[in-house]
């Protein structure tokens, strides 16, 4: 889809946009449950890169402490808990520039992927830059999808990251796809970019063949100590418009209402779902920040009749007043 086409979609009257997105959504996703994904940091802080939004860069002084790779058993316990709470995917994140097969930690990572798959969950991981052979080994271990976000439009990207380029990220995405791994790729809004920068990101994503399987749309959580600590929040209607445009541009992608939900009212979240968001992060924590409480998720999804069937019993229990 061209940038001009995306602009025409995005800037049409709000309710016309919602109606168009809803039609696309119902054609491709009617009756299919919202996906709940759990997020787990497997290696925190101390990253060499300078992504301006990130609490984990070693260049900024933030609340995040540098920690090594967590044990495989810790990942397995998190997967079991996530599954019991209704998640169907565990997303694991490691803060570093990248990893190759000669790093002794790589074997543990392959084991994490295998063991997560054994629990019955989909496994997603983000490890930064991969070599072709690392990507192939992850695919053989059963990795469902690899997360590598483009963050923003190509023109704005250098204002956010200087230690690697937009092209570097595209190259990494090519290696992931060549290995036969699904792709999770999206961005962050609220970093000072224009609406055109956001649409440029959607243009790059929707022009991929095929477009990503999952498209997370994150609202910046300004982290004290990072260069973006003073960024104001994104108006909800801009987020809703972007989600609707993403739904129309990538009908078959799971569009994830990702970081930043804590700042959204239940009504704004409902409009995001109506506009085509069909995946959320479910659990107390994102990688380094808090998420909406799981019982609030369940309450909201139940009110909207979006609760996955296997969670209906849990909803009834969690909504009982406590003694
Ligand atoms: S590469 Fe990842 S962990 Fe490192 S600074 Fe950028 S976003 Fe943070």
Question: Could you read off the pLDDT of 225-235 as tens digits, one per residue?
Answer: 999 999 999 99
pLDDT of residue 309: 73
Tokens of residue 113, six digits: 């992927």
> If you average pLDDT over residues 20-37, what whole number do you get?
95
Residue to probe by mutation, ligand 1, list 41, 48, 56, most atoms within 8 Å of CB: 56
CATH pick for 3-22+34-308 out of 3.40.50.1820, 3.40.47.10, 3.20.20.70, 1.20.1250.20: 3.20.20.70
> If you average pLDDT over residues 6-23, what whole number do you get?
98
Continuous segment of H or E residues that includes residue 183? strand 182-184
Query: How far away, in angstroms, is 96 Cα from ligand 1 center?
Result: 6
pLDDT of residue 17: 98
**SS3 assignment for 87-124:** CCEEEEEECCCEECCCCCHHHHHHHHHHHHHHCCCEEE
| Residue tagged active-site, from 37, 184, 185, 272 | 184
Query: How far away, in angstroms, is 42 Cα from ligand 1 center?
Result: 13
Instruction: Verify whether residue 219 is a known catalytic residue.
Output: no
**What confidence category does residue 322 fall into, taking pLDDT thresholds of 50, 70 and 90?**
very low
CB atoms within 10 A of CB 23: 12
pLDDT of residue 321: 42
CB-ligand 1 contact for 56 (6 Å cutoff): yes
The model's pTM = 0.92
> If you average pLDDT over residues 250-270, what whole number do you get?
93
CB-ligand 1 contact for 51 (6 Å cutoff): yes
Query: How far away, in angstroms, is 47 Cα from ligand 1 center?
Result: 6
Instruction: Verify whether residue 184 is a known catalytic residue.
Output: yes
Strand partners, 285: 290
**314 pLDDT exceeds 70?**
no
CB-ligand 1 contact for 47 (6 Å cutoff): yes
pLDDT of residue 263: 85
> If you average pLDDT over residues 170-177, what whole number do you get?
97
Residues of 179-210 as b/e, b for ≥16 C-beta within 10 angstroms? bebbbbbbbbbbbbbeebbbbbbbbbbbebee
Query: How far away, in angstroms, is 13 Cα from ligand 1 center?
Result: 37
**What confidence category does residue 315 fall into, taking pLDDT thresholds of 50, 70 and 90?**
low
51 or 293, which is more confident? 51
């Amino acid at each position: 889809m061209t940038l001009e086409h995306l602009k025409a979609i995005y800037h049409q009257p709000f309710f016309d946009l919602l109606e168009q997105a809803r039609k696309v959504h119902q054609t491709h996703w009617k009756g299919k449950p919202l996906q709940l994904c759990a997020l787990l940091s497997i290696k925190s802080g101390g990253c060499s890169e300078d992504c301006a939004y990130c609490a984990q860069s070693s260049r900024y002084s933030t609340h995040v402490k540098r920690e090594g790779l967590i044990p495989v058993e810790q990942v397995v316990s998190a997967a079991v808990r996530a599954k019991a709470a209704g998640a169907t995917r565990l997303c694991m994140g490691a803060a570093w520039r990248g990893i190759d097969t000669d790093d002794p930690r790589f074997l543990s990572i392959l084991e994490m992927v295998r063991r997560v798959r054994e629990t019955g969950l989909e496994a997603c991981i983000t490890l930064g830059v991969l070599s072709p052979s690392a990507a192939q080994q992850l695919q053989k271990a059963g990795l469902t999808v690899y997360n590598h976000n483009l963050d923003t439009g190509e023109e704005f990207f250098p204002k956010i990251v200087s230690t690697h380029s937009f092209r570097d990220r595209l190259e990494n995405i090519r290696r992931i796809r060549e290995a036969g791994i699904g792709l999770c790729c999206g961005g962050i809004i609220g970093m000072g970019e224009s609406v055109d920068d956001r649409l440029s990101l959607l243009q790059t994503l929707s022009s991929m063949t095929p477009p990503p399987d999952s498209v997370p749309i994150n609202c910046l959580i300004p982290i004290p100590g990072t260069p973006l600590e003073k960024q104001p929040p994104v108006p909800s209607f801009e987020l809703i418009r972007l989600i609707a445009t993403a739904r129309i541009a990538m009908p078959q992608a799971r569009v994830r209402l990702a970081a930043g939900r804590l700042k959204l009212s239940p009504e704004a979240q409902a409009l995001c779902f109506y506009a085509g968001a069909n995946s959320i992060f479910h659990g107390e924590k994102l990688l380094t920040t808090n998420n909406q409480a799981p019982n609030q998720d369940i309450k909201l999804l139940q009110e909207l009749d979006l609760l996955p069937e296997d969670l209906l019993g849990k909803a009834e229990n969690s909504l009982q007043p406590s003694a």
